[in-house]
Amino acid sequence: MEHLINQRVKNIEISGIRKFFNLVADVEDLISFTIGQPDFPTPDHVKKAGIQAIEKDFTSYTHNAGTLELRKAACQFVNKKYRLDYKAESEVIVTMGASEAIDITFRTILEEGTEVLLPGPIYPGYEPIIRMMGAVPVHVDIRKNQFRFTLETMKPYITDKTRCIVLPYPSNPTGVSLSSDELREIADFMKDKDIFILADEIYSELTFDQKHTSIASFIKEKTIVINGLSKSHSMTGWRIGFLFAPESLAKHILKVHQYNVSCANSIAQKAAYEALTIGINDADIMKEEYAKRREYVYNRLKSMGLEVVKPDGAFYFFVKIPETISLNSFDFALKLVQETRVAVVPGSAFSEFGEGYFRLSFACSMANLERGLNQMETFFQQQK
């Protein structure tokens, strides 16, 4: 019966991140710098809120868009943090993680033959959904621009078919962000264009050198902001995301969401409310530790002679594989595991523009970072 499967689905491959992670998962004594999962537990007070929701039988469907108390808390959160102004009743949807928010956005705004501009390299979660919609992903090479997806880099790729531009900042896999001036320049250019902006800001609470700025603060009417609690509150498994959009757009996205999942998990919504209110600054503890690790890893990588851009946020380094190593990124990562028992993600997982690089996540203990980087340093010395 496989010949009856939707051809667009058949053409999609499993994420290169997961593919490599699964391949090496059974290696003994492995030091993994692969998955983008905070190594901190969900805050205790947030877990207790989830437990109380179960004990009080808060286990039924909620409003399709999420409980009103949570939507109000989400709007207050982004207003306080990023000066964004959204109406809780009609301009925010609680989703099953940021991934569902991306899915329902593309399914709402894309049509056959429309184009979506993406920076390259980029997280692999966008392209398959775009292709399933019959739309066309257009990658813009940002490697020579310090991984910055600026107006100058995207303008040559904008056509009358361009329907959406994806701005994922801080970026996975590079950790690079955009400045307020760079975002304003994009917003000013887009004001008279019939193009949506999808701003994936899931790492917005994990920035180091500058406070996060959302492009929606300049051009709300054309922007869909996606955020969530996976990274800011170490709640990856709780699957709570948020989608913010003008009412005229949100009302249509809500229809897709309704038929997709009905509503987000009710128990997780109670925990999310706790996270956004009592735990509004919970990310600060993690961010302080990540900042220390970033400095350590950056100095170690530079001392090895590796080419790398220092990340502005998130918890990744995107590192150039030395020219002395004549392997593609997948084979390089496999050899690294075999010879050092250190796992990184091949750059090819992040589009063709990631080839020749590898992603290193520093969302792990300092002890593991030190041990793993020591083994990597020995490996690179042997390749010279």
pLDDT at 181: 97
Count: domains in the chain: 2
Q: Are residues 214 and 322 in the same domain?
A: no
Burial of 131 (0-12, 13-18, 19+ CB in 10 A): middle
Q: Are residues 26 and 129 in the same domain?
A: no
CATH code of the domain containing 31: 3.90.1150.10
Residue of 212, 283, 202 lying closest to 242 (CA atoms): 202
Three-state secondary-structure class, residue 365? coil
Q: Are residues 145 and 234 in the same domain?
A: yes
Q: Are residues 118 and 101 in the same domain?
A: yes
pLDDT at 84: 98
Of 225, 245, 276, the residue at which a domain comes to its end is 276
Instruction: Please count the other Cβ atoms lying within 10 Å of the Cβ belonging to residue 384.
Output: 8
The residue count for the chain? 384
Which of 332-346 are b and which e, b meaning 16 or more Cβ less than 10 Å from the residue's Cβ?
Answer: bbbebbeebbbbbbb
How far is the C-alpha of 350 from the C-alpha of 354, rounded, in Å? 5
Q: Are residues 183 and 286 in the same domain?
A: no
Q: Are residues 190 and 319 in the same domain?
A: no
Of 253, 276, 299, the residue at which a domain comes to its end is 276
Which of 39-56 are b and which e, b meaning 16 or more Cβ less than 10 Å from the residue's Cβ?
Answer: beebbeebeebbeebeee
Q: Are residues 66 and 188 in the same domain?
A: yes
Contact between 335 and 358 (Cβ < 8 Å) = no
Contact between 336 and 20 (Cβ < 8 Å) = no
Contact between 276 and 132 (Cβ < 8 Å) = no
Q: Which residues pair with 95 in a beta bridge?
A: 241
Contact between 231 and 168 (Cβ < 8 Å) = no
Write out the two tokens for 128: 């398959």
Of 251, 276, 301, the residue at which a domain comes to its end is 276
Instruction: Please count the other Cβ atoms lying within 10 Å of the Cβ belonging to residue 371.
Output: 14
Q: Are residues 267 and 309 in the same domain?
A: no
Q: Are residues 250 and 352 in the same domain?
A: no
Q: Are residues 224 and 303 in the same domain?
A: no
pLDDT at 228: 98
Q: Are residues 10 and 61 in the same domain?
A: no
pLDDT at 141: 98
CATH code of the domain containing 140: 3.40.640.10
Per-residue pLDDT of the chain (384 residues; tens, 9 = 90+): 988 888 888 888 877 777 777 777 777 888 999 988 899 999 999 999 999 999 999 999 999 999 999 999 999 999 999 999 999 999 999 999 999 999 999 999 999 999 999 999 999 999 999 999 999 999 999 999 999 999 999 999 999 999 999 999 999 999 999 999 999 999 999 999 999 999 999 999 999 999 999 999 999 999 999 999 999 999 999 999 999 999 999 999 999 999 999 999 999 999 999 999 999 999 999 999 999 999 999 999 999 999 999 999 999 999 999 999 999 999 999 999 999 999 999 999 999 999 999 999 999 999 999 999 999 999 999 887
Exposure on the CB side of residue 45, measured as CA atoms within 13 A: 11
Q: Are residues 209 and 88 in the same domain?
A: yes
> What is the pTM assigned to this prediction?
0.96
| 242 backbone dihedrals φ, ψ, rounded to 5° | -135, 140
Contact between 96 and 64 (Cβ < 8 Å) = no
Host domain of residue 305: 2-42+282-383
Burial of 205 (0-12, 13-18, 19+ CB in 10 A): buried
